[in-house]
Amino acid sequence: MSPALTLVSLRQGVRRTLDRHGKWVIILPPMLFLLVFFLIPFLFAFKISFADSDISIPPFTKMFSTTADNHINITLGLDNYNRLFFSDDLYAASYLYSLRTAFFSTMICLLIGYPMAYAMSRAKKTTQNLLLLIIILPFWTSFLLRVYALESIIRENGLLNTALLWLGIIDHPLQIMRTTVAVYLGIIYSYLPFMILPLYATLEKLDNTLLEAASDLGRRPWRSFFEITLPLSLPGVIAGSMLVFIPAVGEFVIPQLLGGPNSLMIGRVLYDEFFSNHDWPMASAVAICFLVLLVGPIAIYQYYNVKQQEQ
Amino acid sequence: MSERPPLALFTFLCFGIAFLYVPIVVLMVYSFNASALVEIWGGFSTKWYGQLIHNSAILDAALLSLEIGVIASTGAVVLGTLAAIALVRFPVFRGRLLLTGMVNAPLVMPEIITGITQLLLFVSLAGMFTWAAHRGMTTIVIAHLAFCMSYVTITVQSRLQSADRALEEAAMDLGSGPVRAFVEITLPIIAPALASSWLLSFTVSIDDLVISQFVAGPGVSTLPMVVYSKVKLGVSPDVNALATIVVAIVGVAVCIAGWWMRRTEHQRVLDLQMAER
């Protein structure tokens, strides 16, 4: 073996050892952090969901306790789940209400966002960049301040009512605040950019020659839109809908600030259960169900979606 | 696509943008309103800004939020980049699926769930560690770090995937160690992704209300928490002034960041062309 070759194989040997064990230096820090501060909290929540609320610190009964004769006593209470599904319809009702509100707001966002993204993708390239900046800008500004800004438009003596009264379209102010309409407006206003951005990203990449070919072959623009553009932009439609639907279901700030006492979305119920009623076990049970019924299916769907795209 | 859009479509776009901007603009205009009532224009005044500067609750909260934002997003960039390197560079390792899942899950997790579970963790840990017992800045930083990481990993991941591995290998063949090769070759390539994901994490952290609300102990308030409690009570003109300042800062920052990233991207393309010659 020549010395040069030995050196190469020595270096390869060092690199191989580094590759084999050195990678854990990179993998372990993020892995451990997420395990401790993201995954394990769910296990705690799962455990606490079987407890009963109690006047103590922390405010719930212990799962493990020792009896007088040194036996370990495990208390598994299913009361919370029983209440959740059968005896108290507040939870089921607010869960369904949240799903419905999120679904319809997502649909409206799609109906408004699609034409906007489509128009953006057909503008001149320099205009496109400017439009993109305009759509992104609200996304960077504070969510809370934007909800507050909307409130100052739709409140009883806000700009909308003042304008409509002045124009003579209505003769007494519209009651929008503290209604379902306000919640819808809030969600659409806050999450519209989330719908537009992925839609624009797919529409912008769309191959124009397909549309030209269709038009050369005599297809009307409307038909080629439904037969070519829409199916090809479906990934953007799905991505945008997810980005609106998921935060909308768990939304707490919007129903709290804009909605009336009837807009009992699940996020609000959870919050009240936690901070007003101090029923942590019940809140945990609601959170775990929320996770299993909504986030689980979405996560599995995402996983297969990504896998499919990789292939 | 570059065909001219039909006029109707373009008008619709303008209305949509107006819908997004009118409330913010109105808020900014009213921040200069001398009258405290929304419906009355009492002349131009900057008194709400003066009031804002002297409101120590808001100032303290803003400082705390800034501090949390800087620490959390810096930590998130470090840990998130490590996770991205792990996922891109090591195709096979034990726990890869778990890491992928944990990186992506916070993005589909409603904030309120993350907030509750993390509070339960901190409460359960309080008996074991003293830092968890005093919920405050530390717990908020940890909670923010956990969900900001996802944004960083996803941004850096796509950048790393498109980075040319051959350059780094060439450097290693020329004798630099893997760490040095990474720092000198790959790091400059992914730098724009690091910068943009830091900015994104910072905005997400500084804007977060729900998770902070849960994990902050009594007596600790971030800026969104103070704003929320003010807004809940109704109109507060100093919040208008605050909003105007935030929008102005964000507007300038986004423009500068956009310009800088375009310039570095342009430079990178030029360098690549030079290298190919």
Q: How far apart are CA B159 and CA B154, in angstroms?
A: 9
Q: Say which amino acid occupies A109.
A: C
Contact between A101 and A267 (Cβ < 8 Å): no
**How many separate domains does chain A show?**
2
**Count of beta carbons in the 10 Å neighbourhood of residue A278:** 14
> Could you tell me which of B262, B240, B178 has the C-alpha nearest to residue B52?
B240
This complex has an ipTM of 0.88
Residue with tokens 């959170």: A287
Which 8-state DSSP code applies to residue A73? E
B214-245 as b/e: b if 16+ CB within 10 A: bbbeeebbbbbbbbbebbeeebbbbbbbbbbe
- Residue A31 is assigned to a structural domain of this protein: yes
**Which of A31, A118, A279 to substitute to test the interface with B, most B CBs within 10 Å?**
A31
- Residue A299 is assigned to a structural domain of this protein: no
* Closest CA–CA distance from residue A21 to any residue of chain B (Å): 11
- Residue A301 is assigned to a structural domain of this protein: no
* Closest CA–CA distance from residue B133 to any residue of chain A (Å): 11
Rounded to the nearest integer, the mean pLDDT of chain B is: 87
Residues making up chain A, counted from first to last: 311
Contact between A180 and A261 (Cβ < 8 Å): no
* Closest CA–CA distance from residue A65 to any residue of chain B (Å): 16
Contact B82/A30, CB-based, under 8 Å?
yes
Contact between A182 and A258 (Cβ < 8 Å): yes
**Which residues 215-274 of A are in CB contact (within 8 Å) with B?**
242, 246-247, 249-253, 256-257, 267, 270-271, 274
Q: Where are the alpha helices (DSSP H) in chain A?
A: 3-17, 23-34, 40-48, 79-82, 89-121, 125-140, 143-154, 159-167, 180-205, 208-216, 221-224, 230-232, 234-249, 253-257, 266-275, 280-290, 296-310
Q: What are phi and psi of A172, to 5 degrees?
A: -140, 150
**Which residues 5-34 of A are in CB contact (within 8 Å) with B?**
15, 18, 22-23, 26-27, 29-31, 33-34
Q: How far apart are CA A94 and CA A268, in angstroms?
A: 9
Q: What is the mean pLDDT of residues B37-62?
A: 86
Q: What is the mean pLDDT of residues B191-205?
A: 90
Partner A contacted by B39 (CB < 8 A): yes
Partner B contacted by A82 (CB < 8 A): no
Residues of chain A with pLDDT under 70: 1-5, 7, 14-15, 17-20, 55-57, 63-68, 73-75, 309-311
Helix (H) or strand (E) holding A311, with range, is: none
In the prediction, which pLDDT does A311 show?
A: 65
The domain segmentation of chain B, as residue ranges, is 57-234, 245-277
Nearest to A44 among B38, B120, B178 (CB): B120
- Residues A40, A150 within the same domain: no
Partner B contacted by A107 (CB < 8 A): no
**Which of B100, B112, B124, B131 to substitute to test the interface with A, most A CBs within 10 Å?**
B112
Which 8-state DSSP code applies to residue B217? -
- Residues A230, A163 within the same domain: yes
Q: How far apart are CA B19 and CA A150, in angstroms?
A: 10
Q: How far apart are CA B122 and CA B120, in angstroms?
A: 6
First to last CA, chain A: 44
Q: What is the mean pLDDT of residues B32-49?
A: 82
Which whole-number Å values give the CA distances from A33 to B8, B69, B99, B167, in the listed order?
A: 51, 18, 11, 31
Q: What is the mean pLDDT of residues B226-239?
A: 86
Q: What is the mean pLDDT of residues B178-203?
A: 87
Q: What is the mean pLDDT of residues B83-109?
A: 89
3-state class (DSSP) for residue B35: coil
Which whole-number Å values give the CA distances from B215 to A52, B32, B136, B137, B210, in the listed order?
A: 22, 35, 7, 9, 9
pLDDT by residue (tens digit) across A61-88?
Answer: 776 666 667 777 666 777 888 888 888 8
Poorest-confidence range of A88-97, B132-141, B193-202? Answer: B132-141
Contact B255/A133, CB-based, under 8 Å?
yes
- Residue A20 is assigned to a structural domain of this protein: yes
Contact between A196 and A230 (Cβ < 8 Å): no
Q: How far apart are CA A212 and CA A194, in angstroms?
A: 30
3-state class (DSSP) for residue A178: coil
* Closest CA–CA distance from residue B277 to any residue of chain A (Å): 29
Poorest-confidence range of A135-149, A180-194, B156-170, B260-274? Answer: B260-274
Task: List, in sequence order, every residue forming a beta bridge with B69; answer none if it has no partner.
Answer: none
Does domain B57-234 fall under CATH 3.10.105.10? My reply is no
Task: List, in sequence order, every residue forming a beta bridge with A66; answer none if it has no partner.
Answer: A72
Q: How far apart are CA B22 and CA A132, in angstroms?
A: 18
Nearest to A192 among B20, B38, B227 (CB): B20
3-state class (DSSP) for residue A233: coil
Contact between B57 and B194 (Cβ < 8 Å): no
The token pair at B128 is 């074991």
Q: How far apart are CA A87 and CA A80, in angstroms?
A: 10
First to last CA, chain B: 31
Whether residue B2 is predicted with pLDDT greater than 60 in this model: the reply is no
Nearest to A142 among B95, B207, B210 (CB): B207
Q: How far apart are CA B19 and CA B252, in angstroms?
A: 22
- Residue A71 is assigned to a structural domain of this protein: no
- Residues A244, A190 within the same domain: yes
* Closest CA–CA distance from residue A126 to any residue of chain B (Å): 11
- Residue A311 is assigned to a structural domain of this protein: no
Confidence of residue B1 (pLDDT cuts 50, 70, 90): very low
Confidence of residue B33 (pLDDT cuts 50, 70, 90): confident
Q: What are phi and psi of A69, to 5 degrees?
A: -95, 30
Q: What are phi and psi of A64, to 5 degrees?
A: -105, 130
Structural domain containing residue A109: 88-278
Contact A120/B172, CB-based, under 8 Å?
no
- Residues A157, A236 within the same domain: yes
3-state class (DSSP) for residue A163: helix
Nearest to A121 among B1, B178, B239 (CB): B1
- CATH number of the domain to which A145 belongs: 1.10.3720.10
**Count of beta carbons in the 10 Å neighbourhood of residue A139:** 20
0.80 exceeded by pTM: yes
Q: What are phi and psi of A53, to 5 degrees?
A: -75, 150
- Structure-model confidence comparison of residues A11 and B91, the more confident one: B91
